[in-house]
Amino acid sequence: MTEQTSRFDVRIGVNPLSWMNDDLPSLGGETSLETALTEGREIGYEGFELGNKFPREPQALRDTLGAHDLALVSGWYSGRLAQRSTQEEIDAVGEHLELLRSNGATVMVYGEVADSIQGAPQALGRRPRFRSARQWDDYAQRLDTFAQFTLQHGVRLAYHHHMGAYVESPEDVDRLMASTSEAVGLLFDTGHITFAGGDPLMVLERHIGRVCHVHCKDVRPAILEMAKNRGWSFLDAVLAGAFTVPGDGAVDFAGVIRTLAAHGYRGWLVVEAEQDPAIAPSYEYAQRGYRTLRALVDAAGRRQIGREAA
């Protein structure tokens, strides 16, 4: 059978947030990287995103992951293009970009942290915003030039819309995608877009052509409502359990996977759910997330083969 361009070619990876938290080091701080990698591989994950306990020297990282037969999925990069020039960002990204490239990652998670309150004890309503068309256009131009630079080095920028940052809402995502070129890929995060008031399937359909990376996190709607009504910070919401793994909340992951498959998405699906492992045991929840996605991906693959054979 000849392979079709619509083939659903995905791999399932995980972010170490299920075991340890970079923004709240006390959550899972006692858990070793070895434990996370061993358990993740045992569950069935093919790769990990970076976290704060991973080595940052290319060969050391290669050896660490290779010992567990795991791939490097990607790694978060804290960008500040809302404040600094493209050249300043290019000068800052060098070591991180090389770490990703030399370990086989083809996307870089770009999170805009300039003025962000995602790690601050402030209500999410106080997040930064671009107030004028000029501010949006200038930012988009800097981002686009930076993305073209990383792409020239074999790594596509995957822009992470994020609670507490400049690009948070569905309207923000629309504006950014409309103002940038194909060099700027979109990291589609099911949990963040839901928390920001969006319908994940509608946003995904609108921007599927730009999606180059997917974070799969579920949400607990009752806690999201409390976070909004009570003016919680992002970290307050995380501690209260706003996020969880696929299959344990309200996001329609069956619909998400069907949409990705129908459009021939190729890349990683990454289980990422900030939770307190004392409340949501790491292995149990990481396994639940994997099994949920594995079943949906396998079902989508069977449907795809059935259509091609018909």
DSSP sequence for 71-94: EE---EEEE-TTTS-HHHHHHHHH
The whole-number pLDDT of residue 2 equals: 33
CA–CA gap between residue 185 and residue 76 (Å, rounded): 14
Is residue 206 in a domain? yes
Is residue 156 in a domain? yes
Is residue 204 in a domain? yes
Identify the CATH number of the domain in which residue 127 sits.
3.20.20.150
Is residue 203 in a domain? yes
CA–CA gap between residue 82 and residue 92 (Å, rounded): 14
Is residue 2 in a domain? no
Is residue 207 in a domain? yes
The whole-number pLDDT of residue 27 equals: 72
The whole-number pLDDT of residue 102 equals: 98
Check: CB of residue 17 under 8 Å from CB of residue 277: no
The whole-number pLDDT of residue 5 equals: 44
* Per-residue pLDDT tens listing for the chain (310 residues): 233 345 688 999 999 998 987 777 767 678 899 999 999 999 999 999 999 999 999 999 999 999 999 999 999 999 999 999 999 999 999 999 999 999 999 999 999 999 999 999 999 999 999 999 999 999 999 999 999 999 999 999 999 999 999 999 999 999 999 999 999 999 999 999 999 999 999 999 999 999 999 999 999 999 999 999 999 999 999 999 999 999 999 999 999 999 999 999 999 999 998 888 888 899 999 999 999 999 999 999 777 666 666 6
The whole-number pLDDT of residue 3 equals: 37
Tell me whether strands 184-189 and 211-216 are parallel, antiparallel or unpaired.
Answer: parallel
Buried/exposed 52-67: b ≥16 CB within 10 Å, e otherwise: ebbeeebeebbebbee
Check: CB of residue 41 under 8 Å from CB of residue 70: yes
Number of domains present in the structure of the chain:
1
Of 58, 44, 142, 138, residue with least CA distance to 104: 58
Is residue 198 in a domain? yes
150's tokens: 């990383």
Is residue 1 in a domain? no
Report DSSP letters for 247-269, one per residue.
TSSS--HHHHHHHHHHTT-EEEE
Domain ranges, residue 153: 9-309
The whole-number pLDDT of residue 30 equals: 82
The whole-number pLDDT of residue 310 equals: 60
Question: Which segments within 182-298 are labelled E, that is strand?
Answer: 184-189, 211-216, 218-219, 243-244, 266-271
- In terms of Cβ atoms closer than 10 Å to its own Cβ (0-12, 13-18, 19+), residue 131 is exposed
- In terms of Cβ atoms closer than 10 Å to its own Cβ (0-12, 13-18, 19+), residue 8 is buried
